[in-house]
Amino acid sequence: MAHPEPAEPSAPAIVWFRDDLRIADNLALAAAAGSGRPVIALFVLDEESPGLRPRGGASRWWLAGSLRALDRSLRERGLALTLRRGPAARVIAELTGESGAAAVYWNRRYEPAGAAVDQAVAADISARGVAVQTFQASLLFEPQAVQTRSGAPFAVFTPFLRHVLALDEPRTPLPAPARIRSAAGVASERLDDWALEPSGPDWAAKFNEHWTRGEAAACEKLAAFADGALADYAALRDRPGGPHTSRLSPHLRFGEISPFQLWHAVRHAREAAAPRSIAASADKFVSELVWREFCHHLLWHHPDLAVRNFQPRFDDFPWRSDDAALKAWRRGETGYPIVDAGMRELWATGWMHNRVRLVAASFLIKHLLIDWRDGERWFWDTLLDADPANNPANWQWVAGSGADAAPYFRIFNPVLQGAKFDAAGEYVRRWIPELSGLPADAIHAPFEAPPAILAAAGVTLGETYPAPIVDHKVARKRALAAFERIRERTR
Ligand code: FAD
């Protein structure tokens, strides 16, 4: 005789979405769906819990589109996204009370202030008998689990990379749940009321030409990259003129795609390419993914990474205060084309190629001697992928003040960097159209070009395009002298 099916539990389970705005490979969502409980999919706009860094403007724009896309894919499964605003602890306490939820599920986050909020939420609701389950879905290697042989956190990338690559391979990604029961009668705020996207003026409208937010777009982009540009990633990733990198960073930042999905896509691509080998490119791409892990590891152990020098000797560094130079840098008007092209790409698209980020950041810090924190804050506000770990860790790396940092005395020459990585000048021509008539051998240093070449290209320095705001040789000497000063003080 067949037994009757057990009744499905009626008290809901809440899935608290944060930096994991996807339905595939979302362990918290999968667990809630699998519990058989009706599910409440929740996003909390928390601008009040102490310590959380307020989002920048570009990031708020991305968040709006990402939430809309998540809501759409949940609705295809019969579930709407519930939006609430306020300190997470209060919002979740209220929602568990009002819905009678029996459990709350989330994927762990690793920004220390966020993790502290999560701990407080867990303690609060567990004390009221609500079950809490948390999952690893946003990092391949959790910082709590990775340490040196002596039990210390890693502070150097290469041993970190070697260590994590010797661990068990990251788990395979989960598909999106086929079926999710929806809890009824849960009120949601309206996304438009949050005004995450700018209006009057809508300076972000231009981003739509370059980006499609949401999980579906992220998955398409990953598939295209794995089948295409990945093969030449090792050779071409430093060239900003073409689409040689994945451009997945904002999608990863918001968790529209998981690092597990990337890891395994690269692995499949490597196998599918055989007998042709794309091993060097696949390894390089994996090591970039591991840089992301390393940055999160650093932030976990150094919560004030965005405001405090990792190396305290930099606390005495003689930074200059120069508003005019900072403004010229932000606007892409330094007179050095590769720097200006990068800063204009950032303003126009919310993204900048990694090689150019390195050159532009180095220029601010070393040529202008402006505190890396000023640059970090500008990137934080303007980058769509602005990340609490990747952004400060990379800025400190460039400054020389960070963990495993570039040596301070290695000062990029922006002209040589341009000539090396944008040899034909196509990147500069795209972002600085007023220089587009210059030949390749003049485009990275218009200030050294003969007057006839400038005239033929319609370039008048100081009028159609700025003259350099600093001389490279002078700036280099000044930077080295400043570094010597902190070295002397620490001897
Ligand atoms: P790909 O080359 O396709 O790499 C794949 C993924 O690996 C990236 O999406 C990213 O998640 C990760 N990755 C690659 N390089 C790095 C790196 N150096 N550090 C950490 N992760 C990396 N990246 C951010 O995601 N957010 C930031 O706020 C950010 N700020 C930066 C600031 C400076 C000054 C510098 C020099 C770099 C910064 N980066 C940041 C790292 C890097 O520039 C971007 O991740 C990369 O350009 C994104 O493009 P992509 O997705 O095509 O990268």
The answer, yes or no, to whether residue 271 has pLDDT greater than 60, is: yes
**Mean pLDDT of the region 347-355:** 98
- List 45's β-bridge partners, or say none: 85
Residues tagged active-site: 288, 291, 319, 354, 372, 395
Per-residue model confidence as pLDDT tens digits over 155-178 = 999 999 999 999 999 999 999 999
Distance (angstroms) between ligand 1 centre and the Cα of 462 equals 34
Q: What is the mean pLDDT of residues 218-226?
A: 98
Q: Nearest C-alpha to atom 7 of ligand 1 is from which residue?
A: 289
pLDDT category of residue 275 using cuts at 50, 70 and 90 = confident
Atom 22 (ligand 1) nearest CA: 292
C-beta separation of 112 from 303 below 8 A? yes
% of the chain beyond a pLDDT of 90: 92
Can you tell me the mean pLDDT for 2-30?
Answer: 86
Q: Is the peptide bond before 87 cis (omega within 30 degrees of 0)?
A: no
By alpha-carbon position, which residue is closest to atom 20 of ligand 1? 292
How much is the average pLDDT of 301-308?
A: 96
Report residue 2's pLDDT band, with 50, 70 and 90 as the boundaries. very low
Residues 6+ apart with CB under 8 A from 472: 367, 413, 414, 415
Candidates 385, 398, 404, 412: which one to mutate for ligand 1, based on the most atoms within 8 Å of Cβ?
A: 385
Mean pLDDT of the chain: 95
d(CA 351, CA 324): 24
Residue 250 alpha carbon, nearest atom of ligand 1? 25
pLDDT in tens, 143-152: 999 999 999 9
**For residue 215, pLDDT beyond 80:** yes
Q: Which of 121-125, 223-227, 237-241, 408-412 shows the lowest per-residue confidence on average (mean pLDDT)? A: 408-412
For the stretch 360-412, pLDDT in tens is 999 999 999 999 999 999 999 999 999 999 999 999 999 999 877 777 778 99
CA of 162 to the centre of ligand 1 (A): 20
Residue 307's Cβ-count burial label (10 Å; 0-12, 13-18, 19+) is exposed
Q: Which amino acid is at 342?
A: G
